[in-house]
Amino acid sequence: NGYAKCGDLESARRFFDQTPQKNVVSWNAMIAGYSQNNKPKESLKLFHEMIGGGVVPVEQTLVSALSACGQLTCLNLGHWIHQHFVVEQRIPLSVTLANAIIDMYAKCGSIDAAAEVFSTMPARNLISLNSMIAGYAANGRAGQAINVFDQMINMGFKPDNITFVSLLTACSHGGLISEGREYFDNMERNYGIKPQRGHYACMVDLLGRTGLLEEAYELITNMPMQPCEAAWGALLNACRMHGNVELARLSAQNLLSLDPEDSGIYVLLANTCANDRKWTDVRRVRSLMRDKGVKKIPGHSLIEMDGEFVEFLVADESHPQSEEIYKVLDEM
């Protein structure tokens, strides 16, 4: 547990493997360690081993496994955990476990299932409300995200930084400019929360998506702190959407000063130039990538089959059943 919390998963796994008699606490520590350190695939693989070995999970086990399911958008397993352990009353539904189920369903795109769990909770806390606001925001339901925020205020909860990141994201995805401005302006005035980098990035995204590129750029340049990658990235993406090549170049320069190895920045800039038929600029960007040794990261998909995770890259033929897979794809 100590090694896992410090991020040293190799040492944690070595001790775990060397433990002669593992109990549920041992399994929990390792499953949580993987889940909390962005290793969801390893977390769920261990969860399958735990269940297969006859070890009965407890609430903490399910919370970690559900978090891993959300990270991988592994809806089938997450739904099974919910049904098998909670609905069939093998483990009582606490607020913490309900929050984990809501978060899992929302991240897997099953926002109605998340809302159903939320509506049946006998008690809720700030995390419950934040999870629903974030879920609605990520799934493009801005109006419902705002409704939950109104519920939060009426119930006497005080919103936090996470609340406003989700709320501003909802406004951005829903194109709600006036509402987004109002929430941003009232954060400190009404709730004593000073806007941080993430909130500014959300506002840049909101302004950029709706074509207010100059205002978005002005907001970045007037930030009281150093702009983060997310803010410049939101502006660059907005420039691609609206065809502003000059501002795209400026955004890309600032992004590359923060992360010169990110291939996505080069690709986004090249695509923006290509959309405007500036082929000389496209060649210049691709040449810069070659000179710096930056390679484009290939797209990939991850699916779960019988407890095993299979990863596919673009035009991948390494899978032993590739021929059958492509045949089915051609028939679709």
- Give domain limits for the chain: 1-123, 299-332
Q: At the top level of CATH, which class does the domain 1-123 belong to?
A: mainly alpha
3-state secondary structure 282-303: HHHHHHHHHHHCCCCCCCEEEE
Distance in angstroms between the alpha carbons of the first and the last residue of the chain: 47
Say if residues 44 and 74 touch (Cβ distance below 8 Å).
Answer: yes
How far is the C-alpha of 240 from the C-alpha of 137, rounded, in Å? 23
For residue 330, the model assigns a pLDDT of 78
Nearest to 70 by CA among 165, 171, 147, 138: 138
Helix, strand, coil percentages in the chain from 3-state DSSP, rounded to 5 = 70, 5, 25
For residue 332, the model assigns a pLDDT of 76
DSSP letter string, 40-109? HHHHHHHHHHHHHTTPPP-HHHHHHHHHHHHHHT-HHHHHHHIIIIIITTSS---HHHHHHHHHHHHHTT
Full-model pTM = 0.80
Supply 24's token pair.
Answer: 């549920």
Say if residues 30 and 16 touch (Cβ distance below 8 Å).
Answer: yes
For residue 251, the model assigns a pLDDT of 81
* Distances, alpha carbon 292 to alpha carbons 252, 256, 288, in Å: 15, 11, 6
* Distances, alpha carbon 139 to alpha carbons 110, 206, 219, in Å: 9, 16, 26
CA 126 to chain centre: 19
pLDDT tens-place values along the chain, 332 residues long: 888 888 888 888 998 888 888 889 999 999 999 999 999 999 999 999 999 989 999 999 999 999 999 999 999 999 999 999 999 989 999 999 999 999 999 999 999 999 999 999 989 999 999 999 999 999 999 999 999 999 999 999 999 999 999 999 999 999 999 999 999 999 999 999 999 999 999 999 999 998 999 999 999 999 999 988 899 889 888 888 888 887 887 788 787 777 666 666 666 666 676 665 666 656 765 666 565 565 556 566 666 666 566 666 666 666 677 778 777 877 87
Nearest to 220 by CA among 199, 237, 241: 199
For residue 22, the model assigns a pLDDT of 87
Say if residues 108 and 78 touch (Cβ distance below 8 Å).
Answer: yes
For residue 318, the model assigns a pLDDT of 66
What are the φ and ψ backbone dihedral angles of 226, each rounded to 5 degrees? -65, 125
* Distances, alpha carbon 263 to alpha carbons 88, 269, 302, in Å: 47, 10, 21
Say if residues 180 and 149 touch (Cβ distance below 8 Å).
Answer: no
